[in-house]
Structure 1
Amino acid sequence: MKINFKRLDHIMLCIPKGKEEEARDFYTNVLGLPELKDLGYPLPNGAIWFQMGDIQLHIRAEKDHGLSDRHPAFEVNNLAEVRAMLEGHGIAIKNESKIPDRNRFSFRDPFGNRIELIEMI
């Protein structure tokens, strides 16, 4: 089975709790990125989203739980098939919070890196 990667959808970077306004100021006023505010749905887990060319940059305060939540997210065409293939290899899948315009899940590679896969609906 082949994963049909379409594109890099977003990258998520993490910040310390309580630094959201500082991050918003840096990414908006220093880097000049437009913040995505009116998407028609609330952003999950207090995230702040920015448009960066043809991908998005997601910023979120990180919980201290050992493994980082930082990750790239790749859009694919065949999410259900990919999930079955990964589970067939014994890879644990984590269902992510719901976002109305996409299905998604994440997993960790053998080195602890988080990878998110999404399919637009």
Structure 2
Amino acid sequence: MLTAVDHVQLAAPPGTEDALRAYYVDVLAMTEIPKPPALAARGGCWFQAGSVQLHLGIEEDFRPAKKAHPGLTVTRIKAFAARLAAKGARVTWDDNLPGHLRFYSEDPVGNRLEFLQPR
């Protein structure tokens, strides 16, 4: 009996933690949260905003997914998109989901992210 999504795990190549921190903290305004010590040894980093957690794990043979992505609900989506664009992130609007405003962007390692707001 599912009640919620605890977190979404995305992958990243080795040595990209600083770039991920710059994006997820400075651009998306998330907070980095500590990984448990046994998991921290593997590298990567975890981020949170409200009840949303994104975990970035290190994958040696990393290739960003072309289609797979988390869908993240936001408020004030147009202001949020402008913030991302002002910080150098690509924003691609998509009008194909009835009842929603939405756009796609990518993190520094190419992970696709969907941001949406119900109309």
TM-score by length of structure 1 reads 0.45
More strand by share: 1
Higher-RCO chain (CA-CA 8 Å, sequence separation at least 6): 1
Normalising by structure 2, what TM-score? 0.45
